[in-house]
């Protein structure tokens, strides 16, 4: 083992590019977000230090709470189907030796598409007059202009687009289950659903916990889908928290307040990340 | 992978599963096939009141229009350049950092690594405002550097590479160092060749993510010339009006490189995504 001193300089040289981009494009902006949230600032200029004034405004801002409500509504509409369908797809892919990779390809392909490809196709399929969905349903509904349907339609588009990732996580979990467990159970006469209930599911629970919380965090970070498909409408029913932050910063040029929204948002996401560890441990411990 | 793992099941279960598998696959491919079918029609057919699953008149006119006029070729070029630069720089920066974190001894290493991993916790979205202000004051709005640089901070990639390097026996490194090789040399000639698969996997995943990135280009690019394809596609109503054959052609062209990368490298992409979520080494 070479002496510590001899490696410090080369090590720092190796790390220099990473440290430079990390400092400039992560650490400094992260600190600045918090600092900005304590100031009154425009998009280009920092003016007065105002302490916690932005946060005082935030807790009484109905638009903020509405956007948070919309965000959680989106999460509610997406997290359960994404988790359940992801599990179902993984079970199907895992069950068929020959056809499995083909099924996996079909389920995962939408996930690698750019968001605007997903939204363009959804928009075309949901066109009021010439859209295929209305044609099949015999309707002329303008889905994205409908206060009841706009968010569910964004959610359906999102499920189609991203479920492949959850499938992949469950698939990895399934492949890690020792085959001997199934062989032993089969000798005991178990089959079909009994195998799933007594072996697959208990072994898969930690993965399910992780998938659920990762999905929740990803869903809370929604912005592109709603922004492109509905621009937050109709009547702001699909304007989510990050959209509100974006508008505050880049349309209203109120960077201080936007930073406060961002900080509040980070606190929520970090709390949920910590929850992930807790949930995963609990599910892992009980299996 | 030769035996079904989730139980042998009886014929009834197998049939139900096969049916469910096929129906779901059809549902998941249908929107893409419908987009393809739309893109191969003349424009008037897309607004025709009579509905047809397949084009009545097959034509590549929409693709010719999209590639011949407007900004789509430029956006495709921008995306290719940006995704390539992000991938190369991320790999270089992360491999060096991971080697230092994994194989070199220096004061403060663990603390520095923990600090880097902090980036896992804070969502990129929360950095947008100060990042934009910084880019603005550096005059990097609408520049390739401005689009690329914030995307190369990737603690996930560093984490995965470090895990991988940790597993390589130290004998290899020590032998090379005894032969007088510098750390760069050891990384390049010893560790890199042994890490081929994981490097490829992470590179493809990084490329796909960079090609698809919407949020950051959306913030930093305002001129149509500098847009990447995911961003440009959201502007296409302005470019084409409501011309659905052309919109679908543009969408499919924008999806083609990543779709191909995925279909050709399915195993590596799978491996890369799983490594990135920490489920598999």
Q: What was the ipTM of the complex prediction?
A: 0.90
| Same domain? B57 vs B196 | no
Residue window 78-137, chain A: list those with CB within 8 Å of chain B.
Answer: 88-89, 91-97, 99-110, 112-117, 119-122, 124-125, 127, 129-130, 132, 135
Measuring CA to CA, which residue among A95, A71, A8, A62 is closest to residue A217?
A71
User: Between A and B, how many CB-CB pairs are < 8 A?
Assistant: 302
Residue window 23-52, chain A: list those with CB within 8 Å of chain B.
Answer: 24-30, 32-33, 36, 43-44
How many domains is chain B built from? 2
Chain B CB within 8 Å of residue A267 CB = no
Per-residue pLDDT, A199 = 87
| Same domain? B53 vs B110 | no
| Same domain? B57 vs B75 | no
Query: In the listed set B34, B61, B88, which residue is the last one of a domain according to the structure?
Result: B61
| Same domain? B77 vs B16 | no
pTM, two decimals, is 0.92
**Reported confidence tier of residue B5, pLDDT bands at 50, 70, 90:** very low
| Same domain? B129 vs B243 | yes
User: Which of A24, A105, A258 lies at the smallest CB-CB distance from B266?
Assistant: A105
**How many CA within 13 A on the CB side of residue A12?**
8
Per-residue pLDDT, A5 = 52
**Reported confidence tier of residue B9, pLDDT bands at 50, 70, 90:** low
**Tens-place pLDDT, residues B181-223:** 888 899 998 999 888 889 999 999 999 999 999 999 999 999 9
**Reported confidence tier of residue B280, pLDDT bands at 50, 70, 90:** low
- What 3-state class would DSSP assign to A220? helix
Range with the lowest mean pLDDT among A205-214, B211-220, B249-258, B270-279? Answer: B270-279
Cα–Cα separations (whole angstroms), residue A157 to A132, A142, B241: 15, 15, 23
| Same domain? B96 vs B168 | yes
Number of Cβ atoms within 10 Å of the Cβ of B202: 29
Per-residue pLDDT, A134 = 93
| Same domain? B121 vs B155 | yes
Per-residue pLDDT, B274 = 86
Phi-psi map region of A232: left, alpha, beta (phi>0 left; psi -120 to 50 alpha): left
| Same domain? B189 vs B50 | no
Q: Which of chain A's residues have a Cβ under 8 Å away from the Cβ of B248?
A: 120-121, 124
Binary contact (A26, B274; C-beta < 8 A): no
Query: The CATH number of the domain where B138 resides is what?
Result: 1.10.3720.10
Cβ atoms of residues B230 and B254 within 8 Å: yes
User: Which of A135, A172, A186 lies at the smallest CB-CB distance from B280?
Assistant: A172
| Residue of chain B whose Cα is closest to the Cα of A159 | B28
Per-residue pLDDT, A283 = 67
Binary contact (A242, B236; C-beta < 8 A): no
User: Which of A21, A33, A270 lies at the smallest CB-CB distance from B121?
Assistant: A270
> Does pLDDT of B2 surpass 50?
no
Q: Which domain holds residue B108?
A: 70-277
> Does pLDDT of B241 surpass 80?
no
Query: In the listed set B61, B84, B100, which residue is the last one of a domain according to the structure?
Result: B61
* Mean per-residue pLDDT, B18-45: 96
* Mean per-residue pLDDT, A72-77: 96
**Reported confidence tier of residue B14, pLDDT bands at 50, 70, 90:** confident
């Amino acid at each position: 083992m070479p002496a510590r001193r001899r490696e410090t300089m080369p090590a720092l040289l190796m790390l220099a590019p990473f440290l430079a981009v990390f400092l400039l494009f992560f650490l400094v902006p992260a600190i600045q977000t918090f600092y900005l949230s304590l100031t009154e600032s425009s998009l280009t200029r920092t003016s007065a230090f105002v302490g916690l004034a932005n946060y005082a405004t935030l807790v009484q801002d109905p638009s903020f709470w509405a956007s948070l409500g919309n965000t959680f509504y989106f999460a509610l509409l997406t997290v359960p189907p994404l988790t359940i369908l992801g599990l179902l797809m993984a079970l199907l892919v895992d069950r068929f030796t020959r056809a499995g990779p083909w099924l996996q390809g079909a389920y995962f392909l939408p996930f690698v598409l750019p968001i605007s490809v997903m939204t363009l196709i959804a928009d075309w399929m949901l066109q009021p007059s010439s859209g295929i969905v209305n044609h099949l349903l015999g309707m002329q509904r303008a889905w994205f202009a409908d206060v009841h349907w706009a968010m569910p339609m964004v959610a359906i588009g999102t499920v189609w687009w991203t479920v492949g990732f959850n499938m992949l996580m469950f698939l990895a979990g399934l492949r890690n289950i020792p085959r001997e467990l199934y062989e032993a159970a089969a000798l005991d006469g178990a089959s079909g659903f009994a195998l799933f209930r007594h072996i697959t599911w208990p072994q898969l629970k930690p993965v399910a916990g992780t998938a659920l919380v990762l999905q929740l965090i990803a869903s809370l970070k929604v912005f592109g889908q709603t922004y492109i498909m509905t621009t937050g409408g109709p009547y702001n029913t699909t304007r989510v928290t990050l959209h509100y932050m974006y508008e505050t910063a880049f349309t209203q040029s109120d960077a201080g307040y936007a930073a406060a929204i961002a900080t509040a948002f980070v606190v929520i996401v970090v709390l949920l990340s910590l929850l992930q560890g807790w949930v995963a441990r609990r599910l892992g411990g009980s299996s | 992978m030769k035996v079904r793992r989730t139980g042998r099941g009886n014929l009834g279960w197998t049939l139900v599963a096969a049916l469910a598998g096929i129906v779901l696959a059809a549902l998941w491919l249908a929107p893409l096939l419908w987009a393809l079918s739309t893109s191969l029609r003349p424009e008037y057919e897309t607004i025709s009141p009579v509905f047809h699953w397949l084009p009545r008149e097959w034509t590549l006119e929409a693709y010719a229009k999209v590639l011949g006029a407007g900004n789509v070729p430029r956006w495709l070029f921008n995306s290719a350049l940006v995704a390539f630069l992000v991938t190369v720089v991320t790999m270089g920066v992360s491999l060096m950092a991971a080697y230092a974190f994994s194989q070199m001894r220096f004061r403060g290493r663990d603390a520095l690594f923990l600090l880097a991993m902090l980036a896992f916790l804070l969502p990129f979205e929360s950095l947008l405002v100060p990042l934009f202000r910084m880019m603005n004051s550096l005059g990097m709005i609408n520049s390739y550097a401005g689009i690329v640089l914030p995307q190369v901070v990737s603690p996930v990639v560093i984490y995965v590479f470090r895990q991988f390097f940790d597993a390589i026996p130290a004998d290899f490194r020590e032998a090379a160092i005894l032969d007088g090789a510098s750390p760069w040399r050891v990384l390049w000639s010893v560790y890199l060749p042994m890490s081929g698969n994981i490097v490829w996997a992470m590179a493809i995943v990084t490329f796909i993510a960079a090609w698809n990135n919407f949020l950051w280009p959306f913030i930093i690019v305002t001129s149509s010339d500098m847009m990447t394809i995911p961003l440009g596609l959201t502007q296409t109503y302005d470019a084409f009006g409501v011309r659905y054959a052309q919109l679908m052609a543009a969408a499919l062209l924008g999806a083609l490189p990543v779709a191909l990368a995925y279909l050709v490298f399915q195993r590596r992409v799978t491996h890369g995504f799983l490594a990135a979520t920490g489920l598999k080494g």
